Structure 1
Amino acid sequence: MGGYDERELDVTTRPLTTFETPLGRMKLTRLPQGATNSVAVYQAQMTWILQEEIPESVGTFIDDGGIKGPRSLYNQETLPENPSIRRFIWEYAITLERILFRIEEAGLTISGSKFACCVPALDIVGHVVSFKGRKISKQKINKIQNWPTPLNKKEIRGFLGLCAYVRMFIENFSQVASPLRRFTREDIDWDWDQKCEEDFHKLRRIVGEEITLKKLDYDK
């Protein structure tokens, strides 16, 4: 959805963004990407614009968003008045139209090249979301499984940080990662042995199991 440059800065705050250029001093008139509070401001505005649709029909993550489909495929049931249209597609189209209208009314734009509609699965910030649930994207899995044996604390921190991003898919992640996480402490010397190598490969193997998580439906 529309970027930071679509958020106008208040006139009173613009002097805070002043910078020097060969043409003289300039100041920003739009929300700068990378500023301390820019992400929080952007996320808050997106949440406000789509507040009536969250979390039932849409989820947002900064400038990415996913429009949710119906909870059921209705056994591929079609519309009585038009047998060529399946019911779950029709319901999704109604939701899509409503949300796009809200986005248009707010003056936002959507990237046509990144827009995906009525697809069986969608990769959103490293998670593949589909009717069956959510799982880790192949790209994330490959990156973790191809991570070489760490040679120092910096490398083990990088590996654990990547694994922590998908920790919701790893049962008892804290316990599984504990033997490796101790190397991130300043008072622990680097002493990588065979047991550490086994724990390292165990964590990589668990990530490769491609576990799918499905949201609990309290209406069933």
Structure 2
Amino acid sequence: MLWEWLVMPQGLKNTPATFNRCVTHLLRSVRDFAPSYFDDVFIHSRAVDEKSEVEMHKEPLRRLFALMRKHKLYANLKKCIFGASEIPVLGCLVGKNGVRPDPGKVSVINEWPTPSNVKELRQFLGLATYLCKYVSNYAGKIRPLSQLLKKDAAWVWTADCQQAFDAVKQGLTEAPILAVADQDRPFHVVCDASDFAI
């Protein structure tokens, strides 16, 4: 007797990569307006001419659903979000104005107590580093904190450490909205280099 999986089994170490490759391959014809990340598909559209955003959004949805039906891919309607102006994606909120950090994650960082040991500092930096693209000169700001993580470094929470800790919190509170690049406008690439940060 021969057994065949009807769904992807849990627990195999290559399951996520195999599934992601399969979905990416099957949906490649719609990736211009419906990029995928593992089992999440994000459809975006813009209002053009005299059509509304809703009218413009219907055609990409139809194309995606037809493709999913053809390849026997199924969506859980309870997890679907339709017609939203902003959606949560990997800890950020993506909308027509750009990308911004999830306010829930920012509030967790802002309420974080001052670390009292290396383990607590690593936990804080782990979450803060996830959102570091929103903080100007992040690597430079956390330098005093990074020094505490070095092997055989004594745990001494200095005024510089507290200032760096507060600067990261402040930077996320004032985080900019990262806008989608306008390909019709000129780009200026600015790089700041130093001995300890980029």
Deviation for aligned residue 1:126: 1.3
Residues 1:69 and 2:45 aligned together: yes
Write out the 4+ residue segments of structure 1 that deviate beyond 3 Å after TM superposition.
Answer: 28-35
Tell me the amino acid that sits aligned with residue 36 of structure 2: T
Distance in 2 separating the partners of 1:184 and 1:37 = 33
Whether the 8 Å contact between 2:20 and 2:38 is mirrored in structure 1 is yes
Say which of 12, 16, 21 aligns to 1:39. 16
Once the 2 structures are TM-superposed, how far is the Cα of residue 29 of structure 1 from its aligned partner?
A: 7.0
Aligned partners of 1:29, 1:95: CA distance in 2, in Å?
A: 28
Shift of 1:30: 4.7
* Cα distance change on mapping 1:122 and 1:35 into 2, 3 Å: same
Unaligned regions of 5+ residues in structure 1, if any? 1-9, 15-27, 80-85
User: Which residue of the partner structure matches residue 78 of structure 1?
Assistant: 50
Residues 182 and 39 (structure 1 numbering): CA distance in 2 closer, same or farther, change over 3 Å? farther
SS at match of 1:103: helix
1:182 is aligned to 147
Q: TM-score, normalised by structure 1?
A: 0.75
**Distance in 1 between the 2:35 and 2:136 partners?**
25
Q: Partner of 1:51 in structure 2?
A: 28
What does residue range 12-161 of structure 1 map to in structure 2 within 5 Å?
Answer: 30-54=7-31, 56-70=32-46, 73-74=47-48, 78-79=50-51, 86=52, 88-161=53-126
Whether 1:196 and 2:161 are equivalent positions in the alignment is yes
User: Which structure: larger Rg?
Assistant: 1
Output aligned runs, 1:4-19, within 5 Å: none
Change (3 A) 1:37 1:142: same
Deviation string, structure 1 residues 107-166 (Cα, Å, up to 9, x no partner): 111111111111111112211111000101111111111111111111111111111111
SS of structure 2 residue aligned to 1:210:
coil
1:175-201 residue CA offsets vs partner (Å, 9 max, x unmatched) = 222221222222312111222111101
> Could you tell me the percent identity over the aligned residues?
24
RMSD: 2.2
- Count of aligned pairs: 184
**Could you list the runs of 5+ residues in structure 2 that have no partner in the other structure?**
186-198
1:212 aligns with 177
Decide which of 157, 162, 168 is 2:133's aligned counterpart.
168
Shift in alpha-carbon separation, 1:33–1:189, aligned structure 2, 3 A: farther
Q: 1:92 to 1:171 in 2, by over 3 A?
A: same
